[in-house]
A and B are shown apart, each in its own frame.
Chain A
């Protein structure tokens, strides 16, 4: 099985790049996954990733995009919490790509 390399430690992922064991996640791993996705992590992207991890911790699911954007709008304001900006941060979809970086399973309802 394919794996990410975090300072010499292998972290297994599936064929789409989602990590196999959710407890393998570390912030260093997030940087490695982001690099593989050609994304530069900054404060805003970290805020999204951290929100996703907290949401998963509390509810045991990754939120749908609509729910994610509504929550980000509430916590960070409408200039970040809107569809267009979120897709600028994560071009392949805020739910799909940010969940991957956050070490969560692929969101429910994503094909």
Chain B
């Protein structure tokens, strides 16, 4: 990669359908990744609900965009950090989240999980390590 590649972290703090933030964030992530930037995502507070399994939006009349998270591996977005404390506070565990995988090019295309559950303290370090942090 050239020196112009910057590390971008998209921070998602909101539930998926109450506002447009979650869907817009995902759209920007896909566009950014298409431009060969180094893109990672973080999910905290109500943002952890974006990754939950079995979403059904019929009642709210909005498109269920949660399957799109599973396409992120195709765009080389392979690190989705989820904050442990945010899961705990909402009574959620890793089992409540979608199984999102990517193929590791450097390991004979082995399928590996994209979701990494990290502590609040680790999340702070991850954020400090970025060139650009965008909050949605």
Using a CB–CB cutoff of 8 Å, the interface residues on chain A facing chain B are 55, 58-61, 63-64, 66-67, 70-71, 108-109
Question: Does chain A have a CB within 8 A of B126?
Answer: no
Q: How far is the CA of A71 from the CA of B65 in the complex (A)?
A: 21
When the two chains form their complex, are residues B71 and A109 in contact, meaning their CB atoms are under 8 A apart?
no
When the two chains form their complex, are residues B71 and A59 in contact, meaning their CB atoms are under 8 A apart?
yes
Residues in A whose Cβ lies below 8 Å from that of B70: 58-59
Contact partner, A60, options B34, B63, B75, Cβ 8 Å? B63
Residues in A whose Cβ lies below 8 Å from that of B130: none
Per CB-CB distance, the 7 closest pairs between chain A and chain B, nearest first, are: A59-B71, A109-B31, A67-B74, A64-B34, A60-B67, A61-B68, A59-B67
When the two chains form their complex, are residues B67 and A108 in contact, meaning their CB atoms are under 8 A apart?
no
When the two chains form their complex, are residues B65 and A60 in contact, meaning their CB atoms are under 8 A apart?
yes
Contact partner, B34, options A55, A58, A59, A109, Cβ 8 Å? A109
Q: How far is the CA of A59 from the CA of B30 in the complex (A)?
A: 13
Interface residues on B, range: 10 to 19
Residues in B whose Cβ lies below 8 Å from that of A61: 30, 68, 71
When the two chains form their complex, are residues B75 and A59 in contact, meaning their CB atoms are under 8 A apart?
no
Residues in A whose Cβ lies below 8 Å from that of B68: 59-61
Question: Does chain A have a CB within 8 A of B111?
Answer: no
For the complex, would chain B's binding face be called helix, strand, loop or mixed by DSSP majority? helix
Residues in A whose Cβ lies below 8 Å from that of B67: 58-60
CB-CB nearest in chain A for B65 = A60
CB-CB nearest in chain A for B35 = A109
Question: Does chain A have a CB within 8 A of B64?
Answer: yes
CB-CB nearest in chain A for B33 = A64
Counting chain A CB atoms within 10 Å of each CB, the highest count among B63, B65, B70, B74 belongs to B74
- Scan B41-85; emit 1 where CB is below 8 A from any A CB, else 0: 000000000000000000000011101101100110000000000
When the two chains form their complex, are residues A67 and B31 in contact, meaning their CB atoms are under 8 A apart?
no
When the two chains form their complex, are residues A64 and B63 in contact, meaning their CB atoms are under 8 A apart?
no
CB-CB nearest in chain A for B64 = A60
Residues in A whose Cβ lies below 8 Å from that of B27: 108
Q: How far is the CA of A110 from the CA of B75 in the complex (A)?
A: 15
Q: How far is the CA of A108 from the CA of B25 in the complex (A)?
A: 12
Given contacts A108-B27, A109-B30, A64 and B64 within 8 Å (CB-CB): no
CB-CB nearest in chain B for A63 = B74
